[in-house]
Amino acid sequence: MLKYILKRILMVIPVLLGVTVIIFMITRVLASDPAPVVLGEHATPEAMEAWRADNGLDDPLWLQYVNFIAGAVQGDLGTSYYTHQPVTQEIAARFPATAELAVCAIIVASLLGVALGVLAAVRRNKLADNVSMVVALVGVSMPIFWSGILLILLFSGILHVLPSSGRVSPLLQPTGGTGFFILDTIMRGDWTALGDVLVHLILPTLALSLYSMAIITRMTRSSMIETLSADYIRTARAKGLSKGAVNIKHALRNAMLPISTVIGLQFGSLLGGALLTETVFAWPGIGKFAVDCVLKSDFPVVQGIVLLVAVIFVIMNLVVDIVYAYLDPRIKYGAKEEG
């Protein structure tokens, strides 16, 4: 098992290096010169040249990349062109908002996806199965930004029951703490603010979780159908066990291995999908911040955010691989035979 883990960890290194090359090339080669955007169109050529020199943009590309990697390894992702604050500090201030949204979204997606998938498998080829598959098809087909706009139009514009933007009402916003508003309000016992935070979370959570819920629903249905046809399930039924005991205790428990893998991978994807969701709902996380920085050509921040999301996604893949190998020893043995 240890050899398998070490092998997976070593495979992460070239992936991350490839990500850094892609990020660097996009922001330094394919993107336009940030100097006119940052300094303004009326800045003199001399001022632009001085600004490029101060930010190391007049160095050779290979030297800029080496400096970027050397800084990233030490936790230094550079300085924002606009706020003049360290990129790590800017990201740290906004990451709790994105993480909180992603955690809530994966919880909702997992609960609804597994429930709909089990219902579809148990009621195969019946009305419940068809309805679940239609919901999954809509979830897969509808872009996040479009579902977000529809949710705002319905619940905020027409029904006026839910807020359309922000994390919390201005008068109730927690100060200090961890930056995770749910945790902060619970620790302080501020239940009014907690309720306001949860209400603001409803629409962006639904929009962000819709696609993942559809994927989990499909995987749960497929895995449950395969498990329900196994011999030990027929034996459990022959012993007179109730349908609930057979479907939940025996079938779902054994079908959870591929489902848990999909849930882990979807959580990593939600951090990337949060970009559009945060933009639509004006959610002050790293996704919206990345969009703002792209428009302002604040490339150090963009590089830092993309690198962070890539690292989290790779780590989630690594964790899923390790957990899968732990739960299913055949994975380890298969890797050993291939080696």
pTM reported for the whole predicted model: 0.86
Query: What pLDDT score was predicted for residue 273?
Result: 67
254 token code pair:
């054994």
Q: Kindly list the structural domains of the chain, giving each domain's residue range(s) and its CATH number in brackets, ordered by start.
A: 15-75 (no CATH), 94-325 (1.10.3720.10)
Query: What pLDDT score was predicted for residue 330?
Result: 59
Q: Which of 12, 27, 99 is nearest to 303 (CA)?
A: 27
pLDDT tens-place values along the chain, 339 residues long: 677 778 878 888 888 888 889 888 888 777 777 888 888 878 888 888 898 888 888 888 889 899 989 998 888 888 998 888 999 999 999 999 999 999 999 999 999 999 999 999 999 889 999 999 999 999 989 888 899 999 999 999 999 999 999 999 888 887 778 889 999 999 888 899 999 999 999 999 999 999 999 999 999 999 999 988 888 888 888 888 888 888 888 888 888 888 888 888 888 778 766 788 898 999 999 988 998 888 888 889 999 998 888 888 888 888 887 777 776 665 554 545 444
Would you tell me how many other CB atoms lie within 10 Å of the CB of residue 53?
11
Query: What pLDDT score was predicted for residue 117?
Result: 93
